[in-house]
């Protein structure tokens, strides 16, 4: 289980494929871990050096004292690239990972060839709601959040036809670190890049789920209008679109970074 130290955290990561190939790093959503990217790992590992990691507070990464900041989440990615001695990579992040990608494109543009931000926004949700969720999780644990996650993550059709996949992700969420999850909620509460994204000069692909109730197509269009080298791809899926529509997702990312 490879880990490295970044700031105050131990970050768990996995790599797949040949290190001589172009690098692509994947960043998970809130309440998941690197295994959410399995369909992307399988698709990209023959042509790319695939790097996956568990965001601090998630999976097998440590959950140091919070609250966390978006800057910390982004710096963990830079420290991972430095640890692997990779000067430039492609980046793909979903939801919380998409906010991390925006921060990286703003603050470390020279480290990335292309940035893919999926099912995300320049500001995700409202500050008060995130702080209330953090307090709830600290008080009651992750089980109540996990019990209702499917409706936020997937369409009814996907839930009905892929019960095992949905159950596995809910089980993983319930088994996670309540402290780490709450700390990341507090990072999302404060994260607001609406004024800064217009400075992004890296090529950016925005993937928006047409049935996503969390980060909508309107959120994607807001970013598209402000990021100079942005493209928008709409996908027929809800919030965790890389799991719900992996073929469409993989094709969009592949064409963009090719």
**What pLDDT is recorded for position 11?**
98
- The predicted model gives 88-116 an average pLDDT of 98
**What pLDDT is recorded for position 149?**
96
Grade residue 181 by pLDDT with cuts at 50, 70 and 90. Answer: very high
Question: From residue 38, how far is each of 26, 60, 67 by CA, in Å?
Answer: 10, 16, 29
pLDDT above 80: residue 170: yes
Burial degree of 65 (CB within 10 A; 0-12, 13-18, 19+): exposed
Burial degree of 131 (CB within 10 A; 0-12, 13-18, 19+): middle
**What pLDDT is recorded for position 232?**
98
The residues, any chain, with a CB within 8 Å of residue 121's CB and separated by 6 or more, are: 98, 99, 215, 219, 220, 222, 223
Does the domain at 3-257 match CATH 3.40.1000.10? Answer given as no
User: Percent of the chain, pLDDT > 70?
Assistant: 100
pLDDT digits (tens, 9 = 90+) for 149-162: 999 999 999 999 99
- The predicted model gives 118-146 an average pLDDT of 97
Peptide bond preceding 67 in cis form (omega within 30 of 0): yes
pLDDT digits (tens, 9 = 90+) for 64-86: 999 999 999 999 999 999 999 99
Q: How far is CA 110 from the centre of its chain?
A: 20
pLDDT above 90: residue 1: no
Of 87, 63, 66, 68, give the one whose Cα is nearest residue 11: 63
Grade residue 91 by pLDDT with cuts at 50, 70 and 90. Answer: very high
pLDDT above 80: residue 118: yes
pLDDT above 90: residue 204: yes
Query: Model pTM greater than 0.85?
Result: yes
Grade residue 104 by pLDDT with cuts at 50, 70 and 90. Answer: very high
| Domains of the chain, residue spans | 3-257
- The predicted model gives 100-128 an average pLDDT of 98
Residue-wise DSSP of the chain: --EEEETTEEEEEEEES-TTSPEEEEEPPTT--GGGGHHHHHHHTTTSEEEEEPPTTSTTS---SS---HHHHHHHHHHHHHHTT-S-EEEEEETHHHHHHHHHHHH-GGGEEEEEEES--SS-S-HHHHHHHHHHHHHH-SHHHHHHHHHHHS-HHHHHH-HHHHHHHHHHHHTS-HHHHHHHHHHHHH---TTTGGG--S-EEEEEETT-SSS-HHHHHHHHHH-TTEEEEEESS-SSHHHHSHHHHHHHHHHHH-
**What pLDDT is recorded for position 67?**
94
**What pLDDT is recorded for position 182?**
98
- The predicted model gives 5-27 an average pLDDT of 96
- The predicted model gives 4-25 an average pLDDT of 96
- The predicted model gives 123-145 an average pLDDT of 97
């Amino acid at each position: 289980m490879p880990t490295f130290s970044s700031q105050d955290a131990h970050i768990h990561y996995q790599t797949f494929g040949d290190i001589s190939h172009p690098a692509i790093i994947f960043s998970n959503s809130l309440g998941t871990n690197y295994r959410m990217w399995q369909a992307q790992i399988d698709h990209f590992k023959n042509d790319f050096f695939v790097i996956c990691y568990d965001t601090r507070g998630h999976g097998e990464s440590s959950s140091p004292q919070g609250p966390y900041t978006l800057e910390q989440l982004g710096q963990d990615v830079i420290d991972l690239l430095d640890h692997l001695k990779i000067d430039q990579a492609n980046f793909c992040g979903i939801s919380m990972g998409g906010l991390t990608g925006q921060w990286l494109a703003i603050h470390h543009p020279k480290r990335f060839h292309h940035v893919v931000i999926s099912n995300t926004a320049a500001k995700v949700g409202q500050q008060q709601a995130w702080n209330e969720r953090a307090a709830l999780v600290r008080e009651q644990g992750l089980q109540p959040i996990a019990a209702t996650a499917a409706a936020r993550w997937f369409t009814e059709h996907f839930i009905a036809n892929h019960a095992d996949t949905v159950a596995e992700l809910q089980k993983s969420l319930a088994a996670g670190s309540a402290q780490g999850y709450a700390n990341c909620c507090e990072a999302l509460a404060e994260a607001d890049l609406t004024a800064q994204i217009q400075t992004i000069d890296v090529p950016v692909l925005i993937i928006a789920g047409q049935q996503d109730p969390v980060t909508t197509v309107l959120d994607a269009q807001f970013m598209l209008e402000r990021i100079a080298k942005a493209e928008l791809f709409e996908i027929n899926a809800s919030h965790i679109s890389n799991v719900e529509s992996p073929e469409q997702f993989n094709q969009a990312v592949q064409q963009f970074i090719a």
